[in-house]
A = this chain, B = another copy of it.
Amino acid sequence: MTDSRAPDRAPRGGARQERLRELNLELVFRHVLAAEGPISRTELAAATGLTRPTITRIVEELIAGRLVTEAGSARHGRAGRPRVGLALSRSGPAGLGLDIRADGLAACVVDLTGAVRHLAFAPLAFAGTDPAAVLDRLAAMASAAVEAVAAEHLTVVAATLAVPGPVDGGVVRSAPALGWTDVDAGALLAAGTRRLGLPITVDNEANLAAHGELHATRRTLDNFVYVSGGLDIGAGIILDGRLVRGSRGWSGELGHITVDPDGRPCPCGSRGCLQTYASPQAILGDEPVPDGTMPEVAITTRADAGDAATLAAIDTAGTALGIALSNVLNILDIGTVLLGGGYALLSSWVTERVEAEIARRVLSAAWAPITVRPAILGPDAAAIGAALTFIDRLRQDPAAWFASQR
């Protein structure tokens, strides 16, 4: 809306020229990022309103900067002759995602196209979940990942750590599943990865997994609640294609929705939290899980074997999850629930119960049925979503990447 005022406001002379150059480069790069496949210089000119010579110059810069490559042919124009297509580079900047999961630690690198180029997993075999030990181990995995992808001409530009709880800056405020309170995970990870010189972000795992899922489903779905059931139960909420983070970034505490006000005691201090009925640990009860086995795998193994206690616990969990999700859907008016993380593995067992509660309890379900289905990405969603955040960073400031390459 404010375009036409630019002549009154832009800086003068050389500075203005330089800023204009940067803005045009950003604009073209965003169009390549948003394109569903290779896009031609002619299409870029039409989409941006920039002249062909300007497009040609900018594309040269983007290719030299390893953000874009010439790749195959773009969709045909009106004339039959195929055009040279431009695509995102698979050998330029990359993002690193780290995740603390129920069964172990994960590290993941994605490239600009969103493709996973490295995925490593380490069972949580050391005793307990001492923050320093966990983050030391993750730092080592980070170094190995950066080294591994360097051999494929990828340059990791940022690291994001997924944790099961609300985060404040780099500090994990509360992660009951790990027994962590006010742990400065950002500082601990930075200390262990100083040599890599990466900017580090710490974020909630459900938010990051939802972000990963949004990327994976981008063209088809922009309103959903993503349920993450790895350690504690959390939710990532996508409304109009954007993550709803809440006023301080602590949204999505699905695990602490009250399902029964006088119900089971929860380590958080409340009673009847969803967590106490539907977390993998709640379903398993006191039965131990072998080290390095995902709790959800243990659950489905027992359920497949017809274990009555496990089947009853799954029913209870599905009903409780349905009640809690109904509350979310009544408040936020979202038409799709994705069962993600470990919960994707349980989806065939719980979906029917979840759907029944939603049909009964969500007001709008009477005229607009709600879809419940497994998420696409599976247990690596948070690590992948964490790695993918570098693309947003790059979209907002490609100049920083060019500066780092000089």
Contacts and interface: CB of A to CB of B under 8 A. Distances in A.
Given A247-B333, A261-B260, A366-B174, A360 B269 contact: yes
Interface in A316-373: 319, 323-324, 326-328, 330-335, 360-364, 366-368
A364 B182 CA distance: 12
Contact of A1 (B26, B258, B319): B26
Nearest to A336: B247
Contacts of A36: none
Given A166-B364, A247-B333, A250-B333, 17 more contacts: A4-B19, A4-B23, A5-B20, A5-B49, A8-B49, A173-B367, A237-B331, A239-B244, A240-B247, A244-B332, A248-B333, A249-B333, A251-B331, A253-B362, A254-B330, A327-B331, A331-B331
Given A251-B331, A258-B327, A331-B254, A2 B3 contact: yes
Q: What is the copy number of this chain in the assembly?
A: 2
A151 interface: no
B363 A250 contact: yes
A282 B269 CA distance: 30
Contact of A27 (B5, B51, B259): B5
Interface of A: 1-10, 16, 19-20, 23-24, 26-27, 48-51, 166, 173-174, 223, 235, 237, 239-240, 244-254, 256-261, 268-270, 273, 319, 323-324, 326-328, 330-335, 360-364, 366-368
Contact of A246 (B3, B235, B332): B332
Nearest to A333: B246
13 contacts: A1-B23, A3-B10, A5-B24, A5-B27, A5-B50, A239-B247, A246-B334, A248-B364, A248-B368, A251-B332, A257-B331, A258-B326, A270-B361
A179 to B, nearest CB: 15
A256 B95 CA distance: 42
A8 B3 CA distance: 10
Contacts of A257: 327, 330-331
Q: Which of A10, A328, A331, A364 has most B Cβ within 10 Å?
A: A331
Nearest to A24: B5
Contacts of A240: 247
Contacts of A237: 331
A16 B4 contact: yes
Nearest to A23: B4
Contact of A4 (B6, B245, B248, B250): B6
Contacts of A248: 333, 335, 364, 368
B258 A323 contact: yes
Contacts of A9: 3, 49
A220 to B, nearest CB: 14
A261 B277 CA distance: 14
B247 A335 contact: yes
A270 B360 contact: yes
Contacts of A2: 3, 23, 27
B247 A223 contact: yes
A363 B247 contact: no
Nearest to A224: B247
